[in-house]
Amino acid sequence: MRLTWAQPEDLLAHELVQSEAEGKDVSGVLDRWVAAGGDPTPRVSGASEARAERRLRTLAGVLLDELDATVAPPDPSQPAEWADLARLVGAATVVRPGRDLGERLEGAWTGRAAGCVLGKPVEKIPRQGIEEILRSTGRWPLDRYFTAVGLPADVAARWPWNRRSAPTSLEENISGAPEDDDLNFPMLGLLLLERHGFGFTTDDVAQLWLDQLPAGRVFTAERAAYRNLLEAYAAPETARLRNPFREWIGALIRADVYGWTAPGQPLRAAELAWRDARLSHTRNGLYGAMWAAALAATAVVADSVEAVLDTASAGVPPESALAEAIELGRRTGRHGGTLADGIDELHRHYGHLHWVHVLPNAATIAFALERGGGRYGDSVCAAVTAGWDTDSVGATVGGVVGALVGVQGIGEEWSGPIAGRIATSLPGGEQRIVDLAARTSLLADELRRTR
């Protein structure tokens, strides 16, 4: 078995990109790696097919440790500690949850599940491949779940479905939401809050991962942090050591539940998400989690997607690369033109980054929410069509719009196949969405009582 996102020779190429983005001088390390015969090109899938020679693997480990030990130039616009972050971000007005909170929470869970399932079959497929699949099956522009019916053999060979998802996530075979890390993590966050309350620590998050989360169902930054935990490192070192994925999307996908349980309190939600995210992420990876939590906290009480975006955007460090990505996405979504035109604009800015990086995906989320205007189908379809981390952006966008419109507003064509069920690889097995929503509502009530 070839374990991805873990081998030193695969991590190094990604670390060169990440370290350079942080302002480190990587030229010496790069020269030594190339001179030894190493490949400096990051792999899209996370791992090369060939096994590296032992000497290259050893050298890659040495170079990774050198880069980890190199101190990046200080950047006060992108702090790591909450006290510094809280001084930079806006303290949004607290809005009292309305009487329809339960309906909104059920819509949030359902919307997240449906958006995730929509994007699962085409995860890792670039936007050109997604468009070709859709056109060849008569479904361009995307307006419902993907199908393999009528898919020409040559197109299927050129753009193969995600192999784990094709049996469970196409229109012809969806029966409840299948297991996915984008759905495991909100469930895990719910359990965290039930066990430890709103005063939980990052160490509590780490212990819950070790107790409940199968190691084989974590990826990129989470896999690196999990490995560091097993080697007895503590946060925030778990986010920094041999972890070139520390500004990717992983922490963002874990954050929704911190917003759903803090309705109308986006800054409080952002701080909860920060405590979770620092286990595995830094800089824009942290800010992505804070933003997603603020989106969720606002969506369950707001009346429009514009209000959600305005409020959540104020909770991001204003000079950060994430703030720039969000603004680009929003501006592009407002501009009009065809969907393809908008996606082209996003790719002009972020097409050079890996498909799991937080910046293109945050831009896509903002773009899809702005363009979708609170319409569930339009929003999740725009997110998935962009072709980066399709299931993750579909899930986040789906959760926001689902919270805004409730289950009825999502539409039977999307909610029906989900059938109110989400499978999971966490202990306890399949969960009912009504139960998840009820547990979330109880926690929201608890936070209101203790505020």
Render 123-135 in DSSP notation, one character per residue. TT--HHHHHHHHH
The two most distant CA atoms of the chain are separated, in Å, by 65
The whole-angstrom separation of Cα 440 and Cα 420 is 15
- DSSP 3-state helix, strand, coil percentages of the chain (rounded to 5)? 60, 0, 35
For residue 49, the model assigns a pLDDT of 52
* Pairing outcome for strands 421-422 and 431-432: antiparallel
Question: Length of the chain, please?
Answer: 451
Beta bridge partners of 357: 248
Band (414; pLDDT cuts 50, 70, 90)? very high
Q: Rounded mean pLDDT of 274-303?
A: 97
- Pure H helices in 77-100: 82-88
For residue 140, the model assigns a pLDDT of 96
Nearest CA among 288, 286, 330 for reference residue 308: 330
Burial call 307-338: b when 16+ CB within 10 Å, e when fewer: ebbebbbbbbbeebbbbbbbebbbebbeeeee
Q: Rounded mean pLDDT of 133-159?
A: 97
Residues 6+ apart with CB under 8 A from 298: 92, 95, 259, 264, 266, 307, 308, 311, 312
Band (139; pLDDT cuts 50, 70, 90)? very high
The whole-angstrom separation of Cα 448 and Cα 231 is 39
Decide if 295 contacts 362 (C-beta within 8 A): no
Amino acid 30 reads L
pLDDT of 324-362, one tens digit each? Answer: 999 999 999 999 899 999 999 999 999 999 999 999 999
pLDDT of 216-229, one tens digit each? Answer: 999 999 999 999 99
For residue 448, the model assigns a pLDDT of 82
For residue 223, the model assigns a pLDDT of 97
Unique residue bearing structure tokens 């339960």: 102
Report the Cα 398 to chain-centroid distance in Å. Answer: 12
The whole-angstrom separation of Cα 60 and Cα 70 is 15
For residue 312, the model assigns a pLDDT of 96
Nearest CA among 359, 346, 422, 429 for reference residue 112: 422
For residue 402, the model assigns a pLDDT of 98
**Mean confidence (pLDDT) of the chain:** 95
pLDDT at 2 over 60: yes
pLDDT of 440-450, one tens digit each? Answer: 999 999 988 87
For residue 48, the model assigns a pLDDT of 54
* Cα-based angle 193, 199, 196 (whole degrees, multiple of 5): 40
Amino acid 165 reads S
Amino acid 196 reads H
Query: pTM of this prediction?
Result: 0.97
Looking at the chain, the whole-number percentage of residues with pLDDT higher than 70 is 95
For residue 357, the model assigns a pLDDT of 98
pLDDT of 47-73, one tens digit each? Answer: 555 567 899 999 999 999 999 999 999
